[in-house]
A and B are shown apart, each in its own frame.
Chain A
Amino acid sequence: DAGVTQSPTHLIKTRGQQVTLRCSPKSGHDTVSWYQQALGQGPQFIFQYYEEEERQRGNFPDRFSGHQFPNYSSELNVNALLLGDSALYLCASSRRTGAYGYTFGSGTRLTVV
């Protein structure tokens, strides 16, 4: 049973560019959350998608946006990249009902130069 799949695994972008990260949730999961993890820190919640709508949002600027597709997969978009956006971006999936824990992917390592 495939877990959460994220692509790409690594990415290098230039300051000011835009980036799209992708996530396929675990089979049977319908809710997708995104987290940003800076080096040496715990993951920070960005937002959560369910039924193709953003349901919760953390303290991140509007440069961070997302989308969920009918097959429950999701994209994270970041516009006008800053050096401080360099981090590991994690996708986590869960079931909306009866959920007791999230399944995380291995993340996308984004480096902004």
Chain B
Amino acid sequence: DAKTTQPPSMDCAEGRAANLPCNHSTISGNEYVYWYRQIHSQGPQYIIHGLKNNETNEMASLIITEDRKSSTLILPHATLRDTAVYYCIVANFGNEKLTFGTGTRLTIIP
């Protein structure tokens, strides 16, 4: 079973920031938080990962709470191409298998 809980769906206006929440209250000390997204008919795409500090890359920002029990993925300026299913996953760093839940279906509204 997935170790994370995400809302099943969210909408966001084009050009606004999309904030996707994830609860992972049973995360262990050596587990990272990973985010992937899956655009229709494609394989999942890696977005970002973090352990306990906030992280930012060219795609998104990841905010992890101090107790590490939840996190938020932020897409700063959402475009229509960001419409996808977003998966939050906790896993050990390295090559541990990924356990996907059902994710959040994010729809960007023009």
**Which residues on A are within 8 Å of B, measured CB to CB?**
4, 31, 33, 35, 40-45, 48, 50, 55-56, 58, 90, 92, 94, 96, 99-107
CB distance from A39 to the nearest CB of B (A): 12
Measured between alpha carbons, how far is A96 from B94 in the docked complex, in Å? 7
Q: Dominant SS at the B interface?
A: loop
Q: A111 CB to closest chain B CB, in angstroms? A: 15
A42-B2, A100-B49 are known; give 6 further A-B pairs, CB within 8 A: A42-B101, A43-B100, A90-B44, A92-B43, A99-B94, A102-B44
The answer to whether A33 and B97 touch across the interface, beta carbons within 8 angstroms, is: yes
Say whether A44 contacts B45, CB under 8 Å. Answer: no
Does B25 sit within 8 A of A, measured CB to CB? Answer: no
Residues of B within 8 A of A (CB): 2, 34, 41-46, 49, 87, 93-103
Contact of A99 among B44, B95, B99 (CB under 8 A): B95
In contact, B95 and A90 (Cβ under 8 angstroms): no
Contact B100 A42 (CB under 8 A): yes
Q: A43-B100, A58-B97 are in contact. Are A102 and B87 (CB under 8 A)?
A: no
Neighbouring A residues of B99 by C-beta, 8 Å: 45
Q: Is B97 in contact with A56, judged by CB distance below 8 angstroms?
A: yes
Of the A-B pairs whose beta carbons lie under 8 Å apart in the complex, a sample of 28, sorted by A's number, is: A33-B97, A33-B98, A35-B98, A35-B100, A41-B102, A42-B2, A42-B87, A42-B101, A42-B102, A42-B103, A44-B100, A45-B99, A48-B95, A48-B97, A56-B97, A92-B44, A94-B95, A99-B93, A99-B95, A100-B49, A100-B93, A101-B46, A102-B98, A103-B46, A104-B45, A106-B43, A107-B42, A107-B43
